[in-house]
Chain A
């Protein structure tokens, strides 16, 4: 493989709250390569958003604190940059698309003005006409019809899907190296989601940006991601190519997600949910933080006492389970329970 574009190393981010310290991100490492889509999946509260907010230096301080780690963008550690230097990185080298475009667009400015501003901020010499031309071009690229008229409209005149397209246009306006999309389609209906995902794919092809796609929707991951990182309780528990993750999961949590999943094209006999609740990030369970909910690890002392290391099982294939070798039997068991066929057609 080529050199990674963005490397996160042992990132630790905490929040001080009256109930105690929330260990939102607890030693997370992953890489993003140019042109790839890295899916980050996990249930809500697993630290997906806090990780990327840390990358961008957007953690509110206090209560938050990036306590440890490195974020290397082409070798340069972003965590050591000043706020001024970071501002040049945000929007230019790393751009972000949020879940709710309504809160990330200013309601009193036209969409066109906001997009132009995004361009002018990082390219002061571009003239007004040239900026407009580029914005209209971008809006056309993301499939906003009548882009020239739409330029002068306000965000509330756009539908949800159109707003998200405008956000994508804004994100790619400066040809970023890394594109971060945090739950970009969660608020949208499926037909609109399909449109937006297609646009996102196109935007990525256009810019060849390395993309981090955060979502709790495994369907979106399956459609979009080249590689996948699975997070649980602020830690990475498994990573691999999308195919590996979906067809031969090496961590019981990943398997639990898959066996909880209803499928649009397959009749399952039943679902096998992960029992219990997600962990408290203030008071993570000892050892493997998944152990209270884990079928494979139940009753085994080592799961309760020792934090399993995130082992390298192959190139880019990692699992943080003491018993990852037993995962194929576990998959077979779940296949029998649910009627899903992990290795065949899903």
Chain B
């Protein structure tokens, strides 16, 4: 893997790739947060928030990252945009290892990967106007003044996300939750990135507003050819928006596949349990579906179980699960890797006709 891109490929880095070509590759990403204790605050352990996670995102597609809270989704996203320094592993943007870059080049590449956050209230600085919020990335990259016509660009961005540019001088608290998320989208779009990490962008919104934002994201993707890494815990939203889905449990990806493979043909017991726990929005289906009830709670990431991390809650677990870490490999030739020693397809969402 080339770590020093030549002048020619510099151009390519900032140019749109054809749809379907890989633009982001995460390899063996690991992030451990030290736990300090004692009088001298020595490290006494580590929260293994993300452990050996690998996946890729292609231009123009949406990859979903799902799992329950605390499984390491946000940490993965934050490592990719370098809000956190990975403990180990590589992140390649179009083949360039982000870790190997000088900070100047890193800053330049940063433009291409933006992040958007969950909380419509915490993600906007309450003391500055919406114009300034959306314009800030432009100012930081020197694309506001003069011929860049920053002001017009901000207005254009506001229209793009369905906000009235005349309201640009208002402050965040004057907007509702859904509108604030639009402001967040506009800010993420300001530098015309190729990839946006969406960290639970609709989780805090009511359904009707959620649907507005989902449609907006969908539309922007089509129009601008964006790739999304969509982080969520709501599987229904993931089914609607994503092309491919990675299921995470306790810091590891346990299954990865196209939306249909994951939803219709899940092979990992955790994916199956997760899907069977999702309420189905049809009262006629009540009780007609097989339910997999998981026992107990997620173990602590500072002391994860040996072998397969899911084994303490898994109904299939046998001795090998405690001793050998199951590899995330394609076990059925469906191009759909699963990290379970006893992986087997089981259509948990299908309703039995009786």
Contacts and interface: CB of A to CB of B under 8 A. Distances in A.
Given A43-B207, A216-B207, A263 B297 contact: no
B68 interface: yes
Contacts of A216: 206-207
- The size bracket of the interface on B is 35 or more
A278 B206 contact: yes
Contact of A44 (B206, B233, B235, B239): B206
A162 B281 CA distance: 26
A272 B210 CA distance: 11
A230 to B, nearest CB: 12
Contacts of B237: 262
Contacts of A241: 283
Contacts of A149: none
Nearest to B273: A191
A247 interface: yes
Interface in A150-197: 159, 161-162, 189-195
A264 B206 contact: no
A195 B68 CA distance: 14
A262 B275 CA distance: 14
A260 B207 contact: yes
B69 A223 contact: no
Interface in B220-259: 233-237, 239-240
Contacts of A256: 208
Interface residues of A, number: 49
A189 B284 contact: no
A136 interface: no
Interface residues of chain B: helix, strand, loop or mixed (majority)? helix
A222 B233 contact: no
Given A264-B236, A273-B209, A222 B274 contact: no
B4 interface: no
A246 B282 contact: yes
A222 B294 contact: no
Contact of B281 (A161, A222, A270): A222
Given A219-B280, A219-B281, 11 more contacts: A43-B207, A161-B297, A192-B68, A193-B277, A219-B278, A222-B285, A223-B279, A262-B236, A265-B350, A273-B209, A278-B176
27 contacts: A43-B208, A44-B206, A161-B297, A191-B273, A194-B279, A218-B281, A219-B236, A219-B279, A219-B281, A222-B282, A222-B286, A223-B280, A246-B283, A247-B283, A247-B284, A259-B211, A260-B210, A260-B211, A261-B211, A263-B236, A264-B235, A265-B263, A267-B239, A273-B215, A274-B211, A277-B209, A345-B282
